[in-house]
Structure 1
Amino acid sequence: MPPEKASNVTPFDPNAAQSGGQGFQKGGQGFGQGKPKPPVDINDPTRSQPWDADAEKGVLSCFLHDPTNLLNDAQVNLPDEAFYHPANQLLYKVMKEFNNGTRPVEYIALTNYLRDAGHLDKIGGAGMLSELLNFVPTPAHYGYYKGILRDKHLLRRIIHACTESVQNAYEFNEDVPALLDRVEERVMSVRDDTESRDTIKPLKHHVMEAFDSIEEMLKDPGKLRGIPTGYRKLDGLSNGLQGGEMFVLAARPSMGKTSLVMNMVEHAALTNEVPVAVFSLEMSAVMLVRRLIVARAGVSMSRIMNGMLSREELRAVTRACSDLQKANIFIDETPGLNILDFRAKCRRLKKQHNIGMIAIDYLQLMTAPTKKSDSRQNEIAAISAGIKAVAKELNVPVVVLAQLNRAVESRKGQRPMLSDLRESGSIEQDADMVGLLTRADYAGSKQEDDSKDRKDAEAEDEASKGKGLLIIAKNRNGPTDDVPLKFIAELMRFTEREFDENEKAGGD
């Protein structure tokens, strides 16, 4: 045997020979299986991208056999880039243009058009079109050829995304966490684009889904279909927080909107065992958890801050901490969170922990990847649309806190309205539900009245202490109304209450 081939022969193993000769009979690396494939050189510039010439020709040939049905399907399922060869891609574009009603998709019309446009040589001449006519005998296998094209196109997109990421990693001039988010975004966009195609379903499919949901409601009348908030009237208006919906909870500063949303988070995670993600852009995670402990234990925040707890109060705090340790609440305290980072983190949490609810505190502190020259309104619009898109993609309710502008403080009666939302246009449009929180005892919301004496004013202040109102100003899938609440400041908790005699419920 020549020396240069000796290295390909499996060395004789006496142990293998004694146990049945596996080195030759089963292993067979030197004789039976041939040479192993050489490792792929990812730096080889001559290596072509994945594509299949016969599959591309097969699809084009099928179009010539049955253009009306197959080209309509292809326009939804196959982007131009699914054809790798420039000639095939050019011919596909012309066929789609003809299919829109300009000319018949057939040999003579295509030949004349390409000749007049000076493109006939680019596709290989009239002989190429003639070859396509007889390349496949029937369009019956179109689905198989199309599958090959989509797979090859997906592989090329993966290669492109990863190549860009590798190059950016070598030549990075930005923060590494930002680069990592861009890499994830590129790879995820490949999946998103793939899954977003051909999603149109016939009406009968949606009718059956709707009927199943109605049937489910009839089996258990009165049952909430969404995640309960812990407030009966609010749940009655919304039927619980619904997956895919964006609930904007807005108020002026210090009204207690953070406390209200954390009360909802606590109820969802502890009472209903729903995993919840909380994005706190204003407050640290420790401060948020401290609020959760106070509300859960029913112990005054000031007593905890002063370190003056009775034995019973200490036991209550300990029990609250024990309960919260079991809760699936995930807090992200990244300041100035970018909407792209938010989306990436939500996707991870959904995959890893199957989160069923998201809370954001608060919208105006988020950032969007827009140019500095863009207006703040455009940035808020991008953020709002991004949040709504995450709600729909993950099919979870997203409760978003937002700020109201100062206009409410100058209005008689100081009842908030939708127009009081900062940069209200896009937020109001994207939100499925908008709740405006106000409190009668909030400093700055009270009106001075010289006709009242001091005792009457003090009595009125005492009666209105903690009295809150959540005004459901928009409800895309239900009625609007006012939800009366009471805020217990020392416990950081909102509770339900009944309307007073002098109060009038709002709504449609």
Structure 2
Amino acid sequence: MAKQENKKNSTKTITENDFGKMPPHSIDLEETVLGQLMLEDDIVLNTIDILKPASFYVQKHQKIYEAILSLTSKREPINIQTVVEELRKSNTLDEVGGPYFIAQLTKKISSSAHIEHHAKLVAEKFIQRELIRVSSEIQERAFDTSTDISELIDFSESEVFKVAEGNIKKAAAPISQIMEDALELIKKAGENKNTYSGEPSGFSDLDKITSGWQSSNMIVLAARPAMGKTAFVLSMMRNMAIDHDIPVAMFSLEMNSVQIVNRLIVSETAIQHNKLRNGDLSENDWKNLYEKTKKLTAAPIYLDDTPALSIFEFRAKCRRLVDKYNIRCVFIDYLQLMTTTTASSREQEVSLISRQIKAVSMELQIPIIALSQLNRSVETRTGNKRPQLSDLRESGAIEQDADLVLFIHRPEYYGLMVDDEGNSTEGLAEIIIAKNRHGATNTVKLEFIPEQTKFTDRNFINQLPDITSDFDTDSPAIQTFASKMNTSKETVFNINPDKPFTPDEMEF
């Protein structure tokens, strides 16, 4: 008996191996959807964003759906007669089984009810088949020992991402539901003790304009090299994490994590960078180092220095960071160093990266601040050399996708030591808000401290003119100056300092 059962199991296994498994599909569901589409003209609008011809497993079903879509694009009615005629025009009527097969599709259907549900089931079967196809290709490449492992990982990520991107859609929602969400956000903003609805940057004048970095926003921060892009981002990260206890993450493609931390230490302790690099610290420096870095060590800052980070890796890492650490803001240093394997040109690659960063910010409902390079036209420009939106490097898509575009401009770097009004530009850093999809554009003035590679709010005292040169520094701190009215014998009012006023002179 046991021998017979073993033989039976063996036969079953051989059968499965010989014939394999059928790909997920449902012919009945596909025929149901096609039949329902020919019952009512407008019902096809409920399936256009769910199904495409390739979603159908049977090839003749694909051709019938293509004919239905063709009729829809020409705004013609959809029924048995029009579909048959459209198939006849494309010489595919016989391939699908002729008019008889088309007529049979509607005979099984009594109404078009639940067509969206049926269409989603057909779409799910297609996604399953696509994942099986992709996994088979990945498996085949993985067995090839000559395949580069990095290329294999990139291929796997991009192919799975294509399946997800092309088939996961968000349905339209009624305004009543969206209104509830909007009112809830307004209510939370009113209950918020802070004055900003978004995540504060720690720079008061900047936050007054932006109300903080808003969720689902993509913010592009661009500047020429040596303007202080990384320093500005690190100052902002420090403000958000230490002063406001906001978990933040930074993807650094230009510097490793240790270098990033060293710059944060310099900013926090004011110890010179070369002293830290050489370890040439005095006893007071060591004391200051340990004391000032306590808050920095405990801050919710997460660093990732993966080189040549792909957009697919970035998406996966962001999801994990949000799930695990509740990250509320992400920084990228910088956008042009990210990679993707699906673009045919550099401009298309940057465009794809920009669009996907925006998609990730919307998916995870967090602001993402991406640093970007500017082209050389800024350097050749005459005058104040202030950057413009047209200076964004390699792709106009960056400007289109971004909710905010900020530029860093330091006139002092270009040797412009006074502004148009004659004020000193020493230490001045202008944050130019060139694009703001949800508010006004403006320019915010900050203080740049090069010794600490640090940005701070610009202190009002720094904007006052230097008047100490008008005084003798060796004289006492308090000085008395006589009024000219007491020394002059004649004034514009003809007043004698030694003679009292008469009643006639006191008309006022």
Which TM-score tier does this pair reach, normalised by the shorter chain? 0.7 to 0.9
Q: Deviations over 1:201-229 (max 9, x none)?
A: 23333333333333433444863121111
Q: What value does the CA root-mean-square deviation take over the aligned residues?
A: 3.4
What is the aligned counterpart of 1:51 among 5, 13, 25?
A: 25
Q: Structure 1 residues 419, 191: CA separation in 2 closer, same or farther (over 3 Å shift)?
A: closer
1:291 to 263, 266, 289: 263
**One of 173, 185, 192 as aligned partner of 1:213:** 185
How far, CA to CA, are the matches of 2:110 and 2:11 in structure 1?
36
Cα deviation, residue 264, structure 1: 1.0
The residue number in structure 2 matching 1:71 is 44
Whether the 8 Å CA contact 2:355–2:401 is kept in 1: the answer is: yes
Pairwise CA distance, 1:319: 3.9
Residues 245 and 397 in structure 1, CA contact (< 8 A), matched pair in contact too = yes
| Deviation sequence 1:58-106 (CA, Å, 0-9, x none) | 22232233x2343221222222222211122222222333344554333
Q: Structure 1 residues 382 and 113 mapped into 2: Cα distance closer, same or farther (>3 Å)? A: closer
Q: Quick one: distance in 2 between partners of 1:379 and 1:296? A: 37
Q: CA deviation at 1:236?
A: 0.9
Equivalent AA in structure 1 for residue 64 of structure 2:
L
1:358 Cα deviation after fit: 1.7
Instruction: Work out whether residues 181 and 344 of structure 1, in 8 Å CA contact, stay in contact via their aligned partners in 2.
Output: no
Cα contact 2:417–2:426 (8 A) shared by 1: no
1:411 is the counterpart of 2:410 = no
1:475 and 2:446 equivalent?
no
Gaps of 5+ in 2: 466-508
The correspondence for 2:137, drawn from 139, 161, 164, is 164
CA positional deviation for 1:152: 1.6
1:18 matched to which residue of 2? none
Q: Residue 318 of structure 1 aligns with which residue?
A: 290
Equivalent residue for 2:66? 93
Q: Name the % identity.
A: 34
Code of the aligned partner of 1:432: D
In structure 2, distance between residues paired with 1:108 and 1:381: 45
1:266-306 Cα distance to aligned partner (Å, 9 max, x none): 22233333332222222221111111122233433344334
How has the CA–CA distance of structure 1 residues 43 and 348 changed in structure 2, closer, same or farther, with 3 Å as cutoff? farther
Counterpart in 1 of 2:161?
188
Bigger CA drift: 417-426 or 476-485?
Answer: 417-426
Letter in 1 for 2:210: S
The counterpart of 1:155, out of the listed 128, 132, 136, is: 128
Looking at structure 1, the residues matched to 14 and 317 of structure 2 have their Cα atoms a distance apart, in angstroms, of 34
Structure 2 partner of 1:307: 279
Q: Equivalents in 2 of 1:185, 1:149: separation in Å?
A: 24
**2:36 partner amino acid:** C
Matched, 1:389 2:359: yes
Secondary structure in 2 matching 1:76: coil
Instruction: Name the counterpart of 2:197.
Output: 225
- Confirm or deny: 8 A CA contact 1:114 1:120 kept in the other structure: yes
Tell me the residue number matched to 1:435: 406
SS of 1:78's partner is: coil
In the TM superposition, what is the alpha-carbon distance from 1:413 to its structure 2 partner?
3.3
1:8 Cα deviation after fit = 8.6
Tell me what 1:334 maps to.
Answer: 306
Q: Deviations over 1:94-152 (max 9, x none)?
A: 23333445543333444455456543332233332333232133433545533432332
Give the superposition deviation at 1:234.
0.7
Structure 1 spans left out of the alignment, 5+ residues: 10-34, 449-459, 503-508
User: Is 1:248 the equivalent of 2:220?
Assistant: yes
CA distance in 2 between counterparts of 1:40 and 1:341 reads 40
Contact 1:487–1:495 (CA under 8 A) maintained in structure 2: yes
> Structure 1 residues 91 and 316, CA, compared in 2 at 3 Å: closer, same or farther?
same
The CA distance in 2 between the partners of 1:425 and 1:439, in whole Å, is 24
Question: How many pairs are equivalent?
Answer: 458
- Asked if 2 retains the 8 angstrom alpha-carbon contact of 1:384 and 1:426, the reply is yes
Closer/same/farther in 2, CA of residues 357 and 116 from structure 1, 3 Å limit: closer
Q: Which moved more, 1:275-284 or 1:259-268?
A: 275-284
The equivalent of 1:456 in structure 2 is none
Say which SS state the counterpart of residue 254 (structure 1) adopts.
Answer: coil
Task: Identify the residue that residue 505 of structure 1 maps to in structure 2.
Answer: none
Taking the aligned partners of 2:425 and 2:58, their CA distance within structure 1 comes to 75
TM-score by length of 1: 0.78
1:488 aligns with 2:441: no
Distance, in Å, in 1 between the alignment partners of 2:432 and 2:289 is: 33
